[in-house]
Amino acid sequence: MSTIENQNKVKQLIDLRAKARLGGGQKRIDTQHAKGKFTARERIEMLLDEGSFEEMDMFVTHRCNNFGMEKESYLGDGVVVGHGTIDGRMVCVFAQDFTVFGGSLSETMSLKICKVMDLAMKLGAPIIGINDSGGARIQEGSNALAGYSEIFERNILASGVVPQISLIFGPCAGGAVYSPALTDFIMMTEQNSYMFITGPKVVKSVTGEDVTVDELGGANMHSRKSGVAHFKSASEAECLALTRRLVSFIPQNNVEDAPLIECNDPINRLEDSLNSLVPENPNKPYDMKEIISAIVDNGDYLEVQALYAQNIICCFARFNGVSTGIIANQPKFLAGVLDCDSSRKAARFVRFCDAFNIPILTLVDVPGFLPGTGQEYSGIITHGAKLMFAYGEATVPKVTVTIRKSYGGAHIVMSCKQLRGDFNYAWPNAEIAVMGASGAIEVLEGKNIAAIADAEEKKQFIFDKETEYKEKFANPYQAASLGYIDDVIEPRNTRFRVIRAFQALQTKKISNPMKKHDNIPL
């Protein structure tokens, strides 16, 4: 071949690449920008380490001949796929391209997405999907539906093998929501990001409700009410940076550990403030986050579902550079009680950590399960069982520190010793009992109390009985005397003791009985 021929062929390649990079064309790119949205390729560039993206299937086009589609075709079709790195670690990515038929899913798009998902499984790398799509490509009929199903099946098989993260940067509606829903984390932005099964028009025609897109499926709703979204960001740029941060806490796959980060925070750092942080009155709230930030490396933690079921905190942090999942009751909200939502939230987080070899620290201050018809009718029994199941089956290192209250069934659920807690510590303020003093005395002495006519005498009797109960149970020593608590620790030493416990557990190896899979109460 002559040099000129060669040059022409290279030029053709360069031109084709340039054409593919334009997706659905400059006009549609401008429209995308005018909505405050980035294009698929811009998003990938912002997500990955500079220059690390290797695109695949740039020349794939759709194969549809219906409705004049044979006359309109774009290189790459409606999705950009490939691999690159985040902080030098391999990730696989797909980003739906709204400039091509509104990012709607065609047969070939699904083949591209499946290909990169298969690659993620082969490499043992996280898969990050950026969703911005009008749903199934209407012109393709059941081919589009089959394409979704292929993706869903891969989401299911990849679950617990490689981490899966979904970013919602546009519409994600109808059955299309189920790919993100099957993944580990859903991240949404405050504008332009929505997820629902049926849109406002269908809702209006079926139920008569008037509802806006945001009210029905926006980031605020999903991060506060439904709990579908794990993270909410003000902008796409913020969300992409947050995704990088999230990735830094998690391993590449289920046989690796999360990256070890060099720790410059002394492991034996004493936090004197913790000795007096918990109020003497057990009914007074305090902020559990103060304890978390005081004990983790450099006070740095990343909260998951921060706005949903705030009576429980789930976050990633590091101890001596080791990524750790923390689950903590939050006395500031609903007194830290366990209810349906908080049980589900924490159960899912515990299972993620266990699936991906992330040790678990549990900080307990729980007065019990929330009583009432609302909770019972919503199935608190099943939801509470989820959390118990998640803790009980987890084989990663588990350290539990009881900060204050730990009553009844909630005590058991919150990673007690008998659910294979490895090291269970308690602060001196801890109260480990079947229930609180006033409830207990009401049950035990109800008849005797009723028989006392004199009000003063009655008050004194209750006071004496409650004092007796508190002396026996409103402390950690009864549980410690039985070995249910391994040690009572000084609050200011907590960081050091937790790190020492996890260091000891580095070689922990236990496994569950052989089974096809468990049957967690769903």
Residues that bind ligand HXC (CB under 6 A): 28, 101-102, 104, 134-138, 145, 148, 171, 174-176
Tell the smallest beta-carbon distance from residue 138 to ligand HXC (Å): 4
Name the residue among 408, 214, 388, 230 with its Cα closest to residue 304: 230
Sign of CA dihedral 119, 122, 123, 126: positive
User: What are 466's two structure tokens?
Assistant: 């409650």
Tell the smallest beta-carbon distance from residue 157 to ligand HXC (Å): 17
Which of 145, 306 has the CB closer to ligand HXC? 145
217 CB burial (10 A radius; 0-12, 13-18, 19+): buried
- Is position 141 annotated as part of the catalytic site? no
- Residue 422 to residue 401: CA distance in whole angstroms: 11
User: What are 191's two structure tokens?
Assistant: 């504008």
Which of 9, 35 has the CB closer to ligand HXC? 35
Tell the smallest beta-carbon distance from residue 137 to ligand HXC (Å): 4
Tell the smallest beta-carbon distance from residue 392 to ligand HXC (Å): 34
- Residue 169 to residue 44: CA distance in whole angstroms: 12
Instruction: Tell me which of 103, 174, 336, 392 is the catalytic residue.
Output: 174
Q: Which residues pair with 334 in a beta bridge?
A: none
- Residue 246 to residue 170: CA distance in whole angstroms: 21
Which of 60, 430 has the CB closer to ligand HXC? 60
DSSP 146: H
Which of 126, 147 has the CB closer to ligand HXC? 147
- Is position 134 annotated as part of the catalytic site? no
Which of 228, 414 has the CB closer to ligand HXC? 228
Which of 148, 249 has the CB closer to ligand HXC? 148
Instruction: Tell me which of 160, 321, 408, 409 is the catalytic residue.
Output: 409
407 CB burial (10 A radius; 0-12, 13-18, 19+): buried
Cβ proximity of 137 and 106 under 8 Å: yes
Tell the smallest beta-carbon distance from residue 33 to ligand HXC (Å): 13
Cβ proximity of 321 and 266 under 8 Å: no
Tell the smallest beta-carbon distance from residue 117 to ligand HXC (Å): 16
Instruction: Tell me which of 20, 410, 440, 480 is the catalytic residue.
Output: 410
Instruction: Tell me which of 124, 160, 175, 199 is the catalytic residue.
Output: 175
What's the N-to-C CA distance of the chain in angstroms? 65
Phi, psi angle pair for 85, to nearest 5°: -130, 155
Cβ proximity of 187 and 144 under 8 Å: no
- Residue 238 to residue 241: CA distance in whole angstroms: 5
Name the residue among 226, 225, 140 with its Cα closest to residue 180: 226
DSSP 513: P
- Residue 183 to residue 152: CA distance in whole angstroms: 10
Cβ proximity of 522 and 469 under 8 Å: no
User: What are 163's two structure tokens?
Assistant: 């981490």
Cβ proximity of 75 and 21 under 8 Å: no
Which of 35, 122 has the CB closer to ligand HXC? 35
Cβ proximity of 112 and 81 under 8 Å: yes
Tell the smallest beta-carbon distance from residue 191 to ligand HXC (Å): 13
Tell the smallest beta-carbon distance from residue 342 to ligand HXC (Å): 31
Which of 29, 401 has the CB closer to ligand HXC? 29
- Is position 410 annotated as part of the catalytic site? yes
Active-site residues, by number, are 174-175, 409-410
